[in-house]
Chain A
């Protein structure tokens, strides 16, 4: 098969861009930012061009395949390729980067590190994000999974808020711990594949083909290593405590990439790696995962209601949403998994909007506390209005994107586990509560003088950054079909691999006119 260079280009262009940015003189911050923005737009353009060539009918197969031998002693290839799910996640990543750069134009000004360093790190992170979704060799996936941590660590630690050291280290250690457990499982998988076929491999497709030959007990151990890594990354309760700290202490732009994209690696990993590589063990673990997911939905929402710090609040809403995504993955129905895949995209955009607008608000007032605000809608109507739309999307208002995905996940859940669905639905009610309470406390009511004085409305650059997000949120709310079309074949592949079939629609036999 001939190699396709699309994905390689998406990897290399940001890296070259980062190197170029570092060559810009330190004092010329403006040029560095402009250059980074141009690079990110080029990458986005490449992504669009690549998506246009994606064959939707074969979205279950890996396309744009690129493979060269890397470490032949261990049969490791530098292998890239995307199926439908990976494609939409890559598109999410590369579209958020220019938005983040534009919205966070002044984020790094006056920080400890240099501005060029900040934008260069974001570009490096972009390359790693593309790599982690595009890798089809598990070793390569692991390399990107870990390599991704380094830029984020520096982004938080050098450019973050007052408790950045703590947050950065906590983030790194949690992730490293999970990653190393995954490494152990990964090596185990390699050895097991060697035992079965005579030559070990890290190739995803080959390993997935062997999945049912792995002895059940071995499969469980291997599954646990992968799952814990992804559960920390996603994060599921009780592995979530690093997220509020990391998100609150990082700059809004970093928070967007961290929560909006990086954490998706966790749910993406569950969907692709846990289910397809360890089908037996996945069924075995389903009850526990569902309990954790539902606990996350409720716990995250309750925590969000109780937060006084806006960024922590948004972080906890994400904990709740990740509960939904994990639930959709593990209920093992087509709707649930399609919903989850779509949710990963939608959550990325709506959380990005929330974090960025909250960031604008916070940088103006100089405080992250909900109580320090009030009546913002009078002095900054556009800011308040966009915040409301983003918030409504987050609480899954029909017509906005998250609704479709949340609905699909819940339908998928009800098909199999009615009571779980009932409890999970509570999450929607609570979501209305945390979003609307936050809106009420910050945007409505009397305007304190200090807010009037400091908070002004969104400027041109900020509007330019936010507008595309809102357009996408509304567009996907009304017409999610393009994404679902791309995602569904891949979901079918997962369903087939994990040996799950949708339960037949149940019509209660008593339904017809027997009610007394």
Chain B
């Protein structure tokens, strides 16, 4: 009777939201909202302190929530968000990496003009306004608001179990990032160019993602990943629609991952962004985007893996080759790290094409290992400066080992980790994905990966040669600035994690094997 009544009058089911399971995301997004209010209401003098407190409290609080939720395996929020092992592992990784990156962003000692962000991003580069702002020593704190929104999006992205939620998360993480990229205090034009490029190409790729979503909806009649998997299992409908949908959807995801041939934005954006932001995006976006990619490929499209694996084979191989070869010719440290990031994305894709449990675990380990070394490496880039700002040309790094042995040694450690030398975190990651790749039958790709690693070692080693074996260029060249406790702590944590994951990898392997598989 009641049911009939409801059917007649049209009913509205109150959605059930499992607030506790969503706590990590809600904490960060809530803090972001508070942060907006702080910007609007709190006097300038207190803003920075307050923003820092809010940011770190949110990150730590969310991390605590992730730890408390560990072991949860459920789909919440009316089937649109999965809180499962992989989600929690990636959210944990993102939070840890964001916290390290935030420490670098909070640095106010290395740049004599204040921090590394433009006083007013809206001022025209080189205009009198801008010079006035700089002269007056204005500093801005909006970056923290943007940062928190971005982290909120990042946390949701790998957890989404339907394509629309995933798209929303993608936009929530991307939009603040486009602005953050344009905030560099020095080399404003480069920064704005990077911002615009990233925005245009990012919007473009979002459109691809959306189009792919639409086609898959047309095929399956649902945007939920498990729904698509079921439809594929029943193999009803038009296969052409699926393949086109998968291709378009992949373009959107692979763009964020930075895989070739959708990598063109990476070097420019990495170079133009404020270096602390580069470290943040290089590490965290990769984790979130790979998380989403893995979820889509394993949960929704696992049934048709024989159709998409050839495509991913080619992309993985291409990404490794392009990243490695272009990195060889770079003369700017940030661009080199950008191409290295592309090559690393290729290695991670080996874990994706493995399409087995080991592939998922391996990729997660790789993401964490790579992320830690990346934030650390970019943190060090912020410290090597001359009078005009960061000294990013490789020739300026010559002889750094002589003047600042500790900083150079830390950087060398990160480079060795990128190169995948045993007893560093990078090797743990490579070992895990390559093993998974061979077990998953992707041996040729692993061999390409191995050869690419050998070539890639060259450009990492070259920097070590520069730092340790070459004479410093000249007196008055760049020097390492002594940072405040923020950056020091960030680098220390990154070094420690790099070594721990390298020497005692079982700790991470335990975590990922507890994390288990994606819940459906």
- Listed in ascending order, the chain A residues whose CB lies under 8 Å from chain B are 70-74, 112, 142-143, 146-147, 149-150, 153-154, 157-158, 164-165, 168-169, 172-173, 176-177, 180-181, 183-184, 187-188, 190-191, 194
Contacts and interface: CB of A to CB of B under 8 A. Distances in A.
Given A142-B422, A165-B465, A194-B439, A176 B510 contact: no
The 10 closest A-B pairs by CB, nearest first: A73-B509, A177-B454, A143-B422, A184-B450, A157-B469, A180-B450, A146-B422, A191-B438, A187-B435, A191-B439
A187 B421 contact: no
A508 B419 CA distance: 59
Given A73-B506, A165-B470, A173-B461, A146 B513 contact: no
A184 B434 contact: yes
B217 interface: no
A173 B465 CA distance: 13
Interface in B437-493: 438-439, 443, 446-447, 450-451, 453-454, 457-458, 461-462, 465, 468-470
24 contacts: A71-B509, A73-B506, A73-B510, A74-B431, A112-B402, A146-B422, A146-B427, A147-B421, A147-B422, A150-B421, A158-B468, A165-B465, A168-B469, A172-B461, A176-B454, A180-B451, A183-B434, A184-B447, A184-B450, A187-B446, A188-B443, A190-B435, A190-B438, A191-B438
A72 B506 contact: yes
A183 B450 contact: yes
A143 B469 CA distance: 25
B384 interface: no
Contact of B450 (A157, A164, A181): A181
Contacts of B431: 74, 183, 187
B28 interface: no
A184 B439 contact: no
Nearest to B446: A184
Interface string B407-436: 000000000100101110001000100110
A118 B513 CA distance: 42
A70 B447 contact: no
B505 interface: yes
Contacts of A70: 506
A73 B510 CA distance: 7
A180 B453 contact: yes
B376 to A, nearest CB: 19
Contacts of B423: 143, 147
Interface residues of B, number: 32
Contacts of B458: 169, 173
A165 B450 contact: no
Contacts of A183: 431, 434, 450
B442 to A, nearest CB: 11
A187 B461 contact: no
The binding surface of chain A is classed by DSSP as helix
Given A112-B469, A150-B416, A168-B469, A191 B461 contact: no
A15 to B, nearest CB: 12
Contacts of A150: 416, 421
Given A71-B506, A147-B423, 12 more contacts: A72-B509, A112-B402, A112-B469, A146-B427, A169-B465, A176-B457, A181-B450, A184-B438, A184-B447, A187-B434, A187-B438, A187-B446
B469 A158 contact: yes
Contact of A154 (B439, B451, B468): B468
A146 B462 CA distance: 18
Given A187-B438, A194-B439, A169 B462 contact: yes
A165 to B, nearest CB: 5
Contacts of B468: 154, 157-158
Interface centre among B416, B419, B443 (most CB of A within 10 A): B443
Nearest to A165: B469
Contact of A188 (B402, B438, B451, B462): B438
Contacts of A157: 465, 468-469
Contacts of A149: 421
A146 B450 CA distance: 14
Nearest to B437: A187
A71 B505 contact: yes
Nearest to B510: A73
Nearest to A181: B450
Contacts of A71: 505-506, 509
A331 to B, nearest CB: 31
A73 B438 contact: no
A147 B419 CA distance: 13
A256 B487 CA distance: 43
A188 to B, nearest CB: 5
Nearest to A184: B450
A157 B463 CA distance: 13
A154 B467 CA distance: 12
Contact of A173 (B447, B457, B506, B513): B457
Contacts of A142: 422
A180 B454 contact: yes
Contacts of A154: 468
Nearest to A177: B454
A157 B470 CA distance: 9
A172 B443 CA distance: 25
Contacts of B438: 184, 187-188, 190-191
Interface string B47-79: 000000000000000000000000000000000
A153 B460 CA distance: 14
Nearest to B419: A176
A165 B462 CA distance: 10
Nearest to B421: A146
Nearest to B512: A73
A181 B453 CA distance: 10
A157 B469 CA distance: 6
